[in-house]
């Protein structure tokens, strides 16, 4: 229920932000276009955000006979969950995420890199973690936040170019000013990062604990987190920043401004909590 409320509030706030960006980009006409776009975005993000994210990473669905699928079948049964669709992402970077609007319409995706890196016990911990997100219904708000944050970043880029070239053409051109567009270009990406921060980092701790309960031990996931943390520094994922909060671990190095808006708790902190040491 709490995540349903958060999702609704998130969509209201983002709709307001879209209206502001539309007004800055194109005056009254831009405001109307943004209003229509916000309605379409709200509808689409609820029903299709999972498909958008999976397509973004060129994920391929796998079925019976694939080791990842068979593992997910077993763990979903242990977690008392409907079987999610299972996908593999073609990249060497080790990571995984879950998406979908509810447990009956969920998907789990893991990279080729994480499948090669981890042994069976460790990979079970990772998949159990993603199933825990499904069980806690984290996946809707994560998927919605990813799609709308990506849209905000796209509009911010448009605002930046509009500011450079003096706004867009048309009757309402005088309604948009370069200063306002520059402000939008700066504020909008920051708002997108704040959306990710709104996806409470405490949910990672909760999913870690639930994963340990599903498989009966915390050590597989703890060892997996150690391996992923080391390897991902050498082989970061070329990920859209708008989707960073969805992965089991932040997909790129947290240097510069992005480190101030970290979407995940520190790995050593997660491991300590998982093992009951902190």
Catalytic residues: 130
**120 vs 2: CA distance, rounded Å:** 34
Residue pointed to by tokens 């309402």: 172
* Per-residue DSSP letter, 104: T
SS3 (DSSP) at 122: helix
Tokens of 126: 């990772």
Alpha helices (H) along the chain = 2-56, 67-78, 112-117, 120-135, 139-164, 178-198, 202-215, 219-234, 267-274
Tokens of 51: 């498909």
């Amino acid at each position: 229920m709490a995540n349903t409320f958060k999702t609704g509030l998130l969509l209201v706030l983002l709709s307001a932000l879209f209206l502001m960006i539309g007004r800055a980009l194109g005056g009254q006409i831009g405001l109307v276009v943004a209003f229509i776009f916000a309605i379409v975005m709200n509808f689409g993000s609820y029903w299709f955000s999972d498909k958008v994210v999976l397509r973004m990473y060129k994920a391929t669905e796998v079925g019976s006979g694939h080791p990842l699928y068979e593992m997910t079948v077993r763990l979903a049964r242990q977690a008392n969950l409907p079987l999610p669709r299972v996908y593999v992402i073609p990249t060497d970077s080790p990571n995984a995420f879950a998406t979908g609007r509810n447990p009956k319409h969920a998907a789990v995706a893991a990279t080729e890199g994480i499948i090669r890196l981890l042994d069976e016990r460790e990979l079970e911990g990772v998949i159990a973690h993603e199933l825990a997100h499904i069980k806690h219904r984290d996946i809707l708000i994560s998927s919605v936040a990813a799609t709308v944050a990506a849209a905000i970043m796209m509009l911010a880029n448009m605002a930046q170019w509009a500011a450079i070239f003096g706004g867009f053409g048309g009757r309402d051109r005088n309604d948009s000013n370069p200063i306002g567009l520059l402000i939008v270009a700066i504020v909008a990406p920051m708002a997108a990062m704040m959306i990710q921060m709104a996806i409470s980092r405490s949910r990672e701790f909760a999913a870690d604990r639930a994963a340990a309960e599903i498989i009966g031990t915390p050590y597989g996931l703890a060892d997996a987190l150690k391996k992923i943390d080391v390897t991902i520094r050498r082989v970061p994922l070329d990920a859209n920043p708008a989707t960073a909060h969805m992965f089991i671990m932040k997909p790129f190095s947290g240097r510069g401004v992005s480190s101030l808006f970290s979407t995940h708790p520190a790995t050593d902190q997660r491991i300590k909590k998982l093992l009951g040491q902190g």
